[in-house]
């Protein structure tokens, strides 16, 4: 039976960290470092310069993931980019990344749009392609420039997000690898987190900035993250005690802590980057994964649960052995 294994990770953050104090000063916000840290755990984030797009961040993360897997760009036969802030309406960010990487072998390339669950959706999708035998080497990327869709006059949302990209190389293998995946959506909740504008002739129409009911999002996120964790653990006949690491989508430290408690996991088993990255949507899980792999926390043979929740609403999880 063909299985799929993560063989390399990479990530990229644009520019220098922007502290809460600097953000408040530069954007003229009526807020404070204390409020932001206490409610969200966020201390700083990275913001991409105006001339940098999601495909540029994806390119750096992808190059690093390929290098860590010992693969050349030409080895890749499938590229999936998870993003809600694509460079264009079309072509997809995945095809732009393909061109920038110089992959000219006819590899399939497409985007996945599941907001903050995007990376879990993309990884679960790639795993199915590899297990089917149709593809052998996938590049799975989460890349976002959320700073472009924020209302900088709305202090309740603009302090929460950041820009960045993370990537993994997923290869066909004899052993797992990916132990279980689950992805879900419930469109009835589309109203609690959305960017309710659209483009016409390249111009934004309506309200093209992020709107959120923070408390409704909070409650929904904690519930479904605990549920989907139980689902993939059950599918792999494992218990929370079998987990070495939990990498939840990095939305807010209080969501991460509440999720860890609901799953029954010690806080030190949760990888946390939200304090330094903010919420980078589809990029947050692969950014955190790459950090924990590179600093030696995640080691070969360990079991890692990655899970995301985001607008739509969407949620999903990937249970993997490294
Ligand atoms: N600085 C200072 N005060 C603020 C700020 C700010 N940046 N933002 C809001 N406030 C004020 C509000 O105006 C309000 O003031 P009022 O009482 O005078 O009206 C007060 O703080 C309380 O506002 P609430 O919205 O009730 O604050 P809450 O405790 O719910 O915290 C937060 C808001 C942090 C957004 C919280 O609801 C939350 O974390 N929700 C989860 C949402 C999330 O993480 N979304 C990320 C995207 S979704 C995802 O990734 C899954």
Q: Residue 21 pLDDT > 90, yes or no?
A: yes
Q: Nearest Cα to 209, choosing from 252, 249, 161?
A: 161
Q: Which of 116, 137, 158, 270 is catalytic?
A: 116
296: exposed, middle or buried (Cβ count in 10 Å: 0-12, 13-18, 19+): exposed
Residue with CA at minimum distance from ligand 1 atom 10:
156
Helix (H) or strand (E) segment spanning residue 201: none
- Please, which pLDDT band fits residue 306 given cuts at 50, 70 and 90? very high
Pair of tokens at residue 2: 């063909």
Query: What is the mean pLDDT of the segment spanning 85-94?
Result: 94
Q: Residue 219 pLDDT > 80, yes or no?
A: yes
Which listed CATH number (3.40.50.2300, 3.30.70.20, 3.40.30.10, 3.40.47.10) goes with 3-175? 3.40.47.10
Residue 285 Cβ inside 6 Å of ligand 1? The answer reads no
Give the number of other Cβ atoms within 10 Å of residue 300's Cβ.
6
Give the number of other Cβ atoms within 10 Å of residue 120's Cβ.
31
Mutation to probe ligand 1, out of 35, 214, 226, 284 (largest number of atoms < 8 A from CB): 214
Residue range 224-261, pLDDT digits in tens: 999 999 999 999 999 999 999 999 999 999 999 999 99
Query: From CA 54, how far away is CA 88, in angstroms rounded?
Result: 10
By percentage, how much of the chain surpasses pLDDT 70?
Answer: 99
Cis ω for the linkage preceding 91 (within 30 of 0): yes
Q: Give residue 21 CA to ligand 1 midpoint distance, Å.
A: 17
- Please, which pLDDT band fits residue 202 given cuts at 50, 70 and 90? low
Q: Give residue 99 CA to ligand 1 midpoint distance, Å.
A: 40
Query: From CA 251, how far away is CA 281, in angstroms rounded?
Result: 8
Q: Which residue has the higher pLDDT, 309 or 198?
A: 309
* 116 has catalytic annotation: yes
Query: From CA 247, how far away is CA 120, in angstroms rounded?
Result: 11
Which listed CATH number (3.40.47.10, 1.10.3720.10, 3.40.640.10, 3.40.50.850) goes with 179-321? 3.40.47.10
- Please, which pLDDT band fits residue 263 given cuts at 50, 70 and 90? very high
pLDDT averaged over every residue in the chain: 96
Q: Where are the domains of the chain?
A: 3-175, 179-321
Residue range 32-46, pLDDT digits in tens: 999 999 999 999 999
Q: Residue 185 pLDDT > 90, yes or no?
A: yes
Query: From CA 322, how far away is CA 316, in angstroms rounded?
Result: 19
Q: Give residue 102 CA to ligand 1 midpoint distance, Å.
A: 43
Q: Which residue has the higher pLDDT, 208 or 184?
A: 184
Helix (H) or strand (E) segment spanning residue 278: none
Q: Do domains 3-175 and 179-321 have the same CATH topology?
A: yes
Residue 17 Cβ inside 6 Å of ligand 1? The answer reads no
Q: Where do we find the tokens 């950090």? A: 291
State residue 173's pLDDT score.
96
Q: Give residue 70 CA to ligand 1 midpoint distance, Å.
A: 43
Q: Which residues contact 126 (CB under 8 A, 6 or more apart)?
A: 4, 78, 80, 135, 138, 140, 170
């Amino acid at each position: 039976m063909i299985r799929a294994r993560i063989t390399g990770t990479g990530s990229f953050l644009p520019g220098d960290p922007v502290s809460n104090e600097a953000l408040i000063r530069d954007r003229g916000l009526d807020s404070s470092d204390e409020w932001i840290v206490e409610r969200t755990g966020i201390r700083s984030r990275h913001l991409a310069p105006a001339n940098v797009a999601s495909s540029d961040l994806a390119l750096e993360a992808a190059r690093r993931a390929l290098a860590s897997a010992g693969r050349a760009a030409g080895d890749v036969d499938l590229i999936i980019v998870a993003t809600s802030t694509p460079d264009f309406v079309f072509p997809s960010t995945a095809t732009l990344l393909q061109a920038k990487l110089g992959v000219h072998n006819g590899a399939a390339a497409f985007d996945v749009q599941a907001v903050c669950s995007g990376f879990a959706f993309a990884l679960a999708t790639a795993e199915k392609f590899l297990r089917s035998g149709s593809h052998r080497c996938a590049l799975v990327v989460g890349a976002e420039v959320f700073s472009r869709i924020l209302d900088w006059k709305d202090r309740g949302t603009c302090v929460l997000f950041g820009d960045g990209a993370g990537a993994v190389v997923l290869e066909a293998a004899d052993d797992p690898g990916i132990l279980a995946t689950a992805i879900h959506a419930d469109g009835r909740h589309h109203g609690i987190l959305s960017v309710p504008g659209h483009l016409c002739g390249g111009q934004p129409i309506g309200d093209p900035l992020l709107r959120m009911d923070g408390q409704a999002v909070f409650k929904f996120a904690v519930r479904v993250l605990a549920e989907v964790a139980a689902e993939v653990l059950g599918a792999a006949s494992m218990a929370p005690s079998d987990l070495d690491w939990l990498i939840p989508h990095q939305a807010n430290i209080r969501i991460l802590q509440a999720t860890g408690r609901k799953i029954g996991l010690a806080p030190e088993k949760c990888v946390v980057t939200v304090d330094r990255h903010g919420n980078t949507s589809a990029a947050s899980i692969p950014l955190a994964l790459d950090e924990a792999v590179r600093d030696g926390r995640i080691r070969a043979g360990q079991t890692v649960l990655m899970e995301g929740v985001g607008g739509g609403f969407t949620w999903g999880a990937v249970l993997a052995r490294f």
